Amino acid sequence: MRKFLLPLRSREKGFLVALALAAVTLAIVPYVSSSYTINAMRDAMVLGLFALSYDLIWGKTSTLTLGHAVFFGTGAYTLAITTVQYGVAPWLGAVAGICSAALLAWVVGYFLLYAGVRSQFLAVISLAVLLIVRQIATSWRSVTGGDVGILGIPPLILGGIDLSGAVASYFAALTLLTVALLGCWIALRGTYGKVLAAIGMNEFRAKHCGFNTAFHLLTMFIVSASLAGLAGALYASMAGVVAPDLFSILLSTDVVLWVAIGGKGSLLGPVIASILLIRVQQEVSSYAADLWPLILGVVFLFFVLVLPKGLSGLIAWGSRKAGRRTVSVAK
Amino acid sequence: MSAIPVLEARELSIAFGGVQAVREVTLKVMRGELICIIGPNGAGKSSLLDLISGTVKASSGDVSVNGTPLRGGNPGAFARAGVIRKFQGTNIFQGLSVRDNLIVAAAGVASLRVAAGPSSEALLEMAGLADCADEKAEFLPHGRRQWLEIAMAMMCQPSLLLLDEPCAGMNVGDAPVLARLLRNLNGKIAVVIIEHDMKFVRSLRSRTLVMHQGAIVRDGDFATLETDREIREIYLGRRARERECCR
Amino acid sequence: MLLNMLSAISILALVALGLAIVFGMMDIVNLAHGEFVTIGAFTLALLQRYAGTNSFWLALGVAPLIGAVAGLILERTVIRFLYRRTLDTLLATYAVSLIVQKLLEMTMGKHPQLVSSPLPNTIDIVGVPYPAYRLLTIAIAVIVVSTCLLVLTRTRFGADLRAVIQNRQMAEAVGINATRMNQIAFAGGAGLAALAGVLIAPYASVVAQMGVQFLTKAFLVVVVGGIGSVIGCIVGSSLVASSETLLNYFVDPSMASAIVLILAIVLVRFCPRGLVAGFGAGRSLAGKS
């Protein structure tokens, strides 16, 4: 445990301060907004949790997947199926959602990662997995409700507290998001975070240091999927319905952009980027439903061609320039 | 009293794209031994290193580290068993700081080693990198990268250290420092080193293997080999043939 | 049933061929490859809307051209800047595919386009009536793929192409214009995919998103069959398409796809290089080990 409570460096203090600021700002929202905004922000935060989960796999280990929404959808559907068809308590349904997502990640990840499948191949096969799971969700009517999906998911009641109201669910989401952020940060700020970054940078070299790289990648894959499954379960619980379009290519693409813009590996960056961009998306979609994907595609392309390191890369580049100037002045 | 060799390779062979790179090489490396491998380009030295470091799986033959047979193609297992390879300066973790490179290197085998390894600060000193410890490794010039690689290799507490042309790209004054380091390791950590720099190899005064066309053709101390006619021909013969081609 | 398999195999081979060659040559995956299929299908739909059902034959020639041009444009505007950045090419082409899909949706509408088969009759094969059109598609696909195989193995141009796949630097050193080869391969692959689009349009649902399923299937073919190898492509297509067609008789189509995917994933675990040793970029799949 002591390994995780190392003394803080200045950049790390920055993270905690930013996290605190963000949490406080978000906590104020319900008191100054309409019910619509509260719900919208709550949904954005649940998707922020999804963004965090993707940062764990792409941001921290540079393992690109294009079908991350499959875990989101799996978590959502598992909660729906267990609570609606088997009458399980919502919190247990959420746990089941996490487990099913983790299991899917374990199976798919084991076969792919231990075979040495990486980069493009992994990305496209993950897309294939998403598409196929969506197809299954659409055709296996008896279990998944087919095209229509599952309705009437019971409200989230945890230990007797009703968390289904607008404000209550908002704070539930905010708490979970903050706890998750803090947890990920604590777990990864030490050596293990560096190890993962090293594996992502140069897996060949990492192997020669003695790391069983496939194992570590699989571990992060499962953790990332579990968090995504939790986000999906939360979403299902709060929306009350699930449908096959939760297995969304668009969402899987969105999340890559959120992490790219927010800064790969910065944990907080993707969460904030996702919340902001989702709000923008919600507004744009109310004008023209098709416009957002188009804008997304163009922004994406721009980012890849011009700014491959994202916003935090831009900031790092800027501070490097500033740093060099100070050095030459000091001389 | 027969000690278990740190590394024992038996009849190792590998072919790349139709060319037999290593031909049934048998080799025993004892604890703390220092061995140099020399030979003309294309003799199979680097391929042999690939095989004994576990980077590549041999098509036939087997490798044992400290008595335990290991399957090739799994460099992680070899590294955990103590066979650590130093690369040529291009295989560091570019985006991490110099110090973090060392920390990560140590973490790979940390759970398997009995004693605590050398501290990163000590190795930064040894490698002359203390002044740039917090800089990103990608900004290091080539010569310093070689030293970073050496430091990373030492962090892994090797029982066998494999060096592939460590003098290439090093600053002029560094070769004797490296030679001194290797002589210090003699008896404690086995070292197998591939090198072209004959002056350096001579200064090590160690057991030397000569490779030619995938096989080990000579195995003895360097002083004897230097005067061996056939070895001269292997080296010079190639050069003479090359001169023929360019006419 | 056998013929169903054959038609599925041949179409898939057409689509996958372009992907495999480009992958082998340039070590990049073009995620917009599925969109070339869509472009082919839409070209047919448009032509038939304004020039009648028999413009199918015209489309056979026009669509591949349009596809090739689209491929060339893509290569010049996007891929060209991202040669060394394989993951970025992936993301960029992904973005392009998204843009193309949405543009098509916005201009042509969301409902399936109307496409009719030029040969609506059936022919009796061994006493069993079989749609003549499917036979046509098999014939065309087989001819085209064989031509490609011949070009690649028998002609000077094909030899140059294979040289670039095997070792780009060496090929350039010998005087082959690798950039030009890239463009030709890219455009060619796109044209092939567009042709597949035309062939499949009459019995598929022609919507803007139709390309994605082809992309993933073609990808599985490349993974199973090996990269940069035409034979591997054919082998891979045969395996993937025939197993899927076969399974379709026993289980739900979506389960069939799932099973094929699972089999492919398991296969990859044991044969990461694919079944047929490809030429070039297999190294990128299994990393340096």
pLDDT of residue A122 exceeding 70: yes
Within 106-125 of C, beta carbons closer than 8 Å to A belong to 106
Instruction: List, in sequence order, the alpha helices (H) in chain C.
Output: 2-26, 33-51, 55-77, 86-108, 132-154, 156-166, 168-173, 178-200, 211-225, 230-248, 253-270, 282-285
Identify all chain B residues contacting A204, using CB atoms and an 8 Å cutoff.
91
Rounded Cα distance, C186 and C99, in Å: 19
Predicted confidence band of residue C228 (pLDDT cuts 50, 70, 90):
low
Chosen CATH of C2-285 out of 2.40.480, 1.10.260, 2.60.40, 1.10.3470: 1.10.3470
Question: Which residues 6+ apart lie within 8 Å of A325 measured at CB?
Answer: none
Q: What is the CATH number of the domain that holds A202?
A: 1.10.3470
Q: Element (H or E) spanning A149, and its range?
A: none
Distance from CA of B56 to the nearest CA of C (A): 7
The pair of three-digit structure tokens given for residue C21, joined into one six-digit string: 């060659």
The partner residue sitting opposite A290, judged by closest CB among C81, C105, C285, is: C105
Nearest alpha carbon to residue C228 among C179, C281, C154 = C281
Taking only the tens place, the pLDDT of each residue in C10-19 is: 777 777 777 7
pLDDT in the model for residue C278: 44
- State the residue for tokens 């905690």: A16
The pair of three-digit structure tokens given for residue B74, joined into one six-digit string: 């799994």
The conformation of residue B211, written as its DSSP 8-state character, comes to E
Chains that touch A (3 or more CB pairs under 8 A): B, C
pLDDT in the model for residue B32: 87
pLDDT of residue C277 exceeding 60: no
Largest CA distance in chain B: 60
The conformation of residue B128, written as its DSSP 8-state character, comes to T
Rounded Cα distance, A219 and A213, in Å: 10
The pLDDT mean for chain B works out to 83
Angle of helix C178-200 versus helix C55-77 axis, rounded to 10: 140
Question: Which residues 6+ apart lie within 8 Å of C69 measured at CB?
Answer: C187
In DSSP notation, A287-326 reads H-TTHHHHHHHHHHHHHHHH-TTHHHHHHHHHHHHHHHHH
User: What are B84's strand-pairing partners?
Assistant: B161
pLDDT in the model for residue B237: 61
pLDDT of residue A16 exceeding 80: yes
CB atoms within 10 A of CB A43: 21
pLDDT in the model for residue A2: 47
Identify all chain B residues contacting C288, using CB atoms and an 8 Å cutoff.
55
Q: Is some CB atom of chain A closer than 8 A to the CB atom of C99?
A: yes
**Of C169 and A21, the one with more pLDDT:** A21
Nearest alpha carbon to residue B60 among B45, B68, B69, B72 = B72
What mean pLDDT do residues B109-138 have? Answer: 81
Taking only the tens place, the pLDDT of each residue in B19-39 is: 888 888 898 888 888 999 988
**Of A30 and A161, the one with more pLDDT:** A30
The conformation of residue A2, written as its DSSP 8-state character, comes to G
Compute CA distances C78 → C24, C83, C85, C188, whole Å: 18, 10, 12, 17
What mean pLDDT do residues C281-288 have? Answer: 36
Q: Is some CB atom of chain C closer than 8 A to the CB atom of A246?
A: no
CB atoms within 10 A of CB A186: 11
Taking only the tens place, the pLDDT of each residue in B150-189 is: 888 888 888 899 998 888 777 777 888 888 888 888 888 8
Rounded Cα distance, A8 and B191, in Å: 40
Predicted confidence band of residue B239 (pLDDT cuts 50, 70, 90):
low
Can you give the pTM of this predicted structure? 0.85
CB contact (8 A) between residue A297 and residue C95: yes
Rounded Cα distance, C147 and A120, in Å: 29
The pair of three-digit structure tokens given for residue C110, joined into one six-digit string: 């969301």
Distance from CA of A256 to the nearest CA of C (A): 9
Taking only the tens place, the pLDDT of each residue in A196-241 is: 999 998 999 999 998 999 999 999 999 999 999 999 999 998 888 8
Rounded Cα distance, B37 and B43, in Å: 10
Name the interface residues of A facing B (CB cutoff 8 Å). 191-192, 194-195, 197-198, 201-202, 204-213
pLDDT in the model for residue A180: 94
What mean pLDDT do residues C196-209 have? Answer: 81
| ipTM computed for the complex | 0.86
pLDDT in the model for residue B187: 83
Judge whether C272 and A117 are in contact, CB under 8 Å. Answer: yes
Taking only the tens place, the pLDDT of each residue in C39-48 is: 888 888 888 8
Chains that touch B (3 or more CB pairs under 8 A): A, C
Strands of B141-189 (E only): list them: 160-164
- Note down the domain range covering A155: 2-330
The conformation of residue A81, written as its DSSP 8-state character, comes to I
**Of B82 and C248, the one with more pLDDT:** B82
The pLDDT mean for chain A works out to 84
What mean pLDDT do residues A166-187 have? Answer: 90
**Of B15 and A315, the one with more pLDDT:** B15
Judge whether A153 and A145 are in contact, CB under 8 Å. Answer: no
pLDDT of residue A325 exceeding 70: no
Residue B7 has φ and ψ, to the nearest 5°, of -135, 135
Judge whether C94 and A300 are in contact, CB under 8 Å. Answer: yes
What mean pLDDT do residues B95-101 have? Answer: 89
What percentage of chain A exceeds 90 in pLDDT? Answer: 36
What percentage of chain B exceeds 70 in pLDDT? Answer: 94
Rounded Cα distance, C156 and C175, in Å: 13
pLDDT of residue A189 exceeding 80: yes
Count of structural domains, chain A: 1
Predicted confidence band of residue A324 (pLDDT cuts 50, 70, 90):
very low
pLDDT in the model for residue C287: 33
Predicted confidence band of residue B133 (pLDDT cuts 50, 70, 90):
confident
Distance from CA of A117 to the nearest CA of C (A): 6
Taking only the tens place, the pLDDT of each residue in C85-130 is: 777 777 888 888 888 888 888 888 777 777 777 776 666 666 666 7
Q: Is some CB atom of chain A closer than 8 A to the CB atom of C183?
A: no
The pair of three-digit structure tokens given for residue A259, joined into one six-digit string: 């992490």
Distance from CA of B156 to the nearest CA of A (A): 7
Distance from CA of C11 to the nearest CA of A (A): 19
pLDDT of residue A331 exceeding 70: no
Interface B-C: count of C-beta contacts within 8 A: 6
Identify all chain C residues contacting A253, using CB atoms and an 8 Å cutoff.
94, 98
**Of A160 and C224, the one with more pLDDT:** C224
Question: Which residues 6+ apart lie within 8 Å of B187 measured at CB?
Answer: B32
Rounded Cα distance, A295 and A280, in Å: 11
What percentage of chain A exceeds 70 in pLDDT? Answer: 88
Distance of CA A223 to the CA centre of its chain: 11
Distance from CA of B75 to the nearest CA of A (A): 5
Judge whether B56 and B9 are in contact, CB under 8 Å. Answer: no
Distance of CA C240 to the CA centre of its chain: 13
Within 12-71 of C, beta carbons closer than 8 Å to A belong to 28-29, 31
- State the residue for tokens 């998001």: A177
Identify all chain B residues contacting A323, using CB atoms and an 8 Å cutoff.
none
What mean pLDDT do residues C152-160 have? Answer: 79
Question: Which residues 6+ apart lie within 8 Å of A288 measured at CB?
Answer: none
Predicted confidence band of residue B241 (pLDDT cuts 50, 70, 90):
low
Nearest alpha carbon to residue A260 among A291, A226, A296 = A296
Q: Which of A111, A114, A120 to mutate to test the interface with C (most CBs of C within 10 A)?
A: A120
CB atoms within 10 A of CB C176: 18
The pair of three-digit structure tokens given for residue A255, joined into one six-digit string: 């999340």
CB contact (8 A) between residue B79 and residue A194: no
Per-domain residue ranges of chain B: 1-82+161-247, 92-157
**Of A143 and A306, the one with more pLDDT:** A143
pLDDT of residue A319 exceeding 70: no
Q: Which of A146-160, A271-285, B56-70, C165-179 has the lowest mean pLDDT?
A: C165-179
Residue type, A3: K
Nearest alpha carbon to residue C264 among C253, C275, C254 = C275
Chains that touch C (3 or more CB pairs under 8 A): A, B
Rounded Cα distance, A134 and A138, in Å: 6
pLDDT of residue A330 exceeding 60: no
What mean pLDDT do residues B76-103 have? Answer: 87
CB atoms within 10 A of CB C167: 13
Compute CA distances A287 → A54, A249, A290, C98, C250, whole Å: 29, 21, 9, 19, 45
Nearest alpha carbon to residue B44 among B13, B80, B89 = B13
Q: Which of A23-27, A129-133, A304-308, C207-211 has the lowest mean pLDDT?
A: A304-308
Distance from CA of A216 to the nearest CA of B (A): 11
Rounded Cα distance, B135 and C119, in Å: 70
CATH topology classification for B1-82+161-247: Rossmann fold (3.40.50)
Distance of CA A291 to the CA centre of its chain: 24
Within 55-74 of B, beta carbons closer than 8 Å to C belong to 55-56, 73-74
What mean pLDDT do residues A249-269 have? Answer: 87
pLDDT in the model for residue A177: 93
3-state secondary structure of C231: helix
3-state secondary structure of C58: helix
